[in-house]
Amino acid sequence: MEAVNMLLQKSLLVIFSLLLLATIINGLLVCLQKNKDWRELTLRIRTWWVIVILFSLALISPCWLGLSFFALVSFIALKEYLTLVPARHADRMPILWMFITIPINYWLIGIDWYGLFIVFIPVYMFLFLPARMVIAGDTRHFLRTVSQLQWGLMTTVFAFSHVACLLVLPNDKQQTGALLVLFLVGLTEFNDITQYIWGKSLGKIKITPKVSPNKTLAGLLGGIGSTTIAAMLLGPILTPLNWSMAILAGLIISVSGFCGDIVMSAIKRDIGIKDSGTLLPGHGGILDRLDSLIFTAPVFFHFVRYFYY
């Protein structure tokens, strides 16, 4: 336990060091190249400081506090999502039940009742929401509204909560799980960054020009390669994965992260917005930061759970 705790602290120290380096480089750019506008980059780095500090506190806190943090993120993400999609006056009570679902879902994770957790939202809430909506008697746009509400609950609560499932997956209920969370979130964000860099540097062939014009084949392949190498190097250190399984995990995270990014981009284009909100200066809304993680979290969790737990 002591060794795992030290490894977690060292890993977080490396992250803070990299963020400090980025802050210093940004400060130098602002001072040396005053003719360019570095405001967005500055805002992004400042927001990353807030995100990393809160995320680190969640990992080193007692298990119940870490779960509360992720539940709060689900709450904010669901609230943000519901402000984007059209809602009917008759949907007030079903929406209230969606928010009530959040503490129940994370309570099931906390008591390690996996059997009920895995069916609570995909089965019981999936059936309960439309049944509750019918009681209001408003059938106008019923199918569209049901689909929107169910998708929001599945992504912002159920899918994202698999991050919290990693936190309590091992028997020690905290430290090893925190390293799994760090591995997943770190690689997911690293995949987003490397896909962007590779796409900007070498990208010519567009993959989804009508959904996300900046997504290129070079970006996708470069992100997959970079993330897979990073997973191979970090997996045996931070997780129970050996190098071959870590490579597979890197492939899973990079591909599913790309899928999550473009799917959420398609949703935003359908709604007619660029960013999901303004909560995170320089980044947009919280859904803009969770888009890839919504897909990588459940896929990686079930991969690890099946082979190692």
Task: Find the length of the chain.
Answer: 309
pTM over 0.75, yes/no: yes
Is 81 among the domain residues? yes
Question: Residue 206 forms beta bridges with which residues?
Answer: 216
Please spell the DSSP secondary structure of 124-137, one letter per residue.
IIHHHHHHHHHHHT
**Mean pLDDT throughout 240-261?**
95
Is 253 among the domain residues? no
For 68, residues 6+ apart whose C-beta sits below 8 A from its C-beta are 106
Q: Which residue has the higher pLDDT, 101 or 61?
A: 101
Burial of 52 (0-12, 13-18, 19+ CB in 10 A): middle
* Total domains present in the chain: 1
pLDDT tens by residue, 167-194: 988 654 445 789 999 999 999 999 998 9
Is 80 among the domain residues? yes
Q: What backbone phi and psi angles, to 5 degrees, belong to 206?
A: -80, 140
Question: Does residue 204 carry a pLDDT above 70?
Answer: yes
For residues 218 and 238, the answer to whether their CB atoms sit within 8 Å is: no
Is 27 among the domain residues? no
Q: Distance between CA 65 and CA 81 in Å, rounded?
A: 24
pLDDT tens by residue, 152-171: 999 999 999 999 999 988 65
Inter-axis angle of helices 217-238 and 243-271, to 10 degrees?
130
Q: Distance between CA 169 and CA 178 in Å, rounded?
A: 9
pLDDT of residue 260: 93
Is 137 among the domain residues? yes
Residue among 53, 78, 57 at smallest CA distance from 68: 57
Question: Does residue 212 carry a pLDDT above 50?
Answer: yes
Distance, C-alpha 35 to centroid of its chain: 35
pLDDT of residue 170: 64
**Mean pLDDT throughout 68-83?**
96
Q: Give the DSSP H/E element, type plus range, for residue 208.
A: strand 206-208
**Owning domain of residue 164:** 63-168
Q: Distance between CA 209 and CA 217 in Å, rounded?
A: 11
The tokens for 236 are 């045996």
Query: CA angle, 273 as apex, 126 and 22 as ends, to 5°?
Result: 100
Question: Residue 216 forms beta bridges with which residues?
Answer: 206
Burial of 209 (0-12, 13-18, 19+ CB in 10 A): exposed
Q: Distance between CA 159 and CA 295 in Å, rounded?
A: 7
Is 147 among the domain residues? yes
